[in-house]
Amino acid sequence: MALKTNVRLVLVATYISICFGFTRAEDSTYDPLSTPKSQNLETIDSIVKDTVRNREIPLRVYLPMEKTPAPVILFSHGLGGSRVGNPYLGQHWSARGYVVVFLQHAGSDEAVWKDVPMLQRMSKLKQAASLENTLLRLKDVPAVIDQLERWNLSSDSPWMGRMDLKRIGMSGHSFGAVTTQGVSGQRTRLGAATFTDSRIKAAVVMSPNSPQGGGDPSKLFGGVKTPWMLMTGTNDTAAVGDATVESRLAVYPALPPGGKYELVLGGGEHEAFSDRDLPGTKTKRNPNHHRIILALSTAFWDAWLRENVSAREWLDGTGPSSLLEQTDRWQHK
């Protein structure tokens, strides 16, 4: 009799949940920071040769332990960076079961400043932050995805069958954020989504940018259908470019609802998202910043690339608040 009563209660609860849109409690076991105790991650450096543009795109690929097809995350570095930067992201995401591909963009990578006298470096970096290099970057992304598709089918490739290319995420920091925005839904000033690649299913944008003097942000970002997670900080300004904290914060309000998130790190500097020291300051990196970045980005990938219900509930529920500090801000729509 008690068993029948319990069954009735479950059925009634399910009926009420469906009728009134209630959701089940968050899965308390979901933890986006957890990784296997024994990790045997594989890192491979390679080069994509884009014969159409006579251009080479160096890659660093972090492979997960499992040999089964895994979702893919592409990462675009900032101005003056390279494929070896931000290993904390590549190592954690791959440990969570993703193939992580770091692109290096010739013309705006470390070669711009590395062998240049110190007093000339800033000038060289400013020259590299050009429209020409922006366009090169935007075309690098589909060229890499095209090559990944070929490698995934090739018996001569160490990545044969390792990638689930129906589940591709895109991420990047600073100039890499500009790249990410452009290939995942941002429109041009003329109103066209010229560089959007439909193969990209979700994007994490670190230090987003709404171009000053570039028109109404709602026209640039109002048509973004891809889930986006924006990450910035209250001190997120760079030595090169005209981006301000205000211009970075202008992106989120212009995005349409549906899979859109924004993290603002209290006191977060521009380099809070990288592995590099904070330049020109005696301020030490807040050790909790990388922890928050890893947790929120991982939950986002799990929710939108893997369609993990527990990850989505963690992300849209109280999960983030368990990690954030008092000066951090978090919102979603």
pLDDT on residue 6: 39
Q: Which residue has the higher pLDDT, 231 or 157?
A: 231
Tell me what pLDDT residue 26 has.
52
- Answer yes or no: are the C-beta atoms of 293 and 268 closer than 8 Å: no
Percent of the chain with pLDDT over 70: 87
Q: Residue 307: its pLDDT value, please?
A: 97
What is the rounded average pLDDT of the residues 243-270?
A: 96
What is the arithmetic mean of pLDDT over 208-235? 90
Q: Are 330 and 262 in contact (CB under 8 A)?
A: yes
Q: What is the pLDDT of residues 118-171, one digit of tens each?
A: 888 899 999 999 999 999 999 999 999 999 999 999 998 888 999 999 999 999
What is d(CA 286, CA 205) in angstroms, rounded to the nearest whole number?
20
**Quick check: helix, strand or coil at residue 31?**
coil
**Which tokens belong to 132?**
């020409």
Q: In angstroms, rounded to a whole number, what is the distance separating the alpha carbons of residues 328 and 292? A: 10
Distance CA 166, CA 150 (A): 14
Contact 93, 167 (CB under 8 A): no
Among the ranges given (79-83, 134-138, 186-190, 215-219), the one the predictor scored with the smallest mean pLDDT: 186-190
Angstrom distances, CA of residue 133 to CA of 24, 80, 102, 210, 330 = 48, 12, 17, 18, 32
Q: Is it the case that residue 326 has pLDDT exceeding 90?
A: yes
pLDDT-based confidence at 211, cuts 50/70/90?
confident
How would residue 254 be classed by pLDDT, with cut points 50, 70 and 90? very high
The reported pTM is: 0.89
How large is the average pLDDT for residues 56-83? 96
Per-residue pLDDT tens over the stretch 74-92: 999 999 999 999 999 999 9
Cβ contacts of 295 within 8 Å, gap of 6 or more: 32, 33, 319, 320, 323
Residue with more model confidence, 47 or 188: 47
User: What does the alpha-carbon distance between residue 245 and residue 200 come to, in Å, rounded to a whole number?
Assistant: 27
* Domain architecture of the chain: domains with CATH: 40-332 (3.40.50.1820)
Averaged pLDDT for residues 46-71: 96
Q: How far apart are CA 164 and CA 306, in angstroms?
A: 10
Phi, psi dihedral angles at 80 (to 5 degrees): 80, 10
* Average pLDDT value for residue range 245-269: 96
| Mean pLDDT within 96-101 | 97
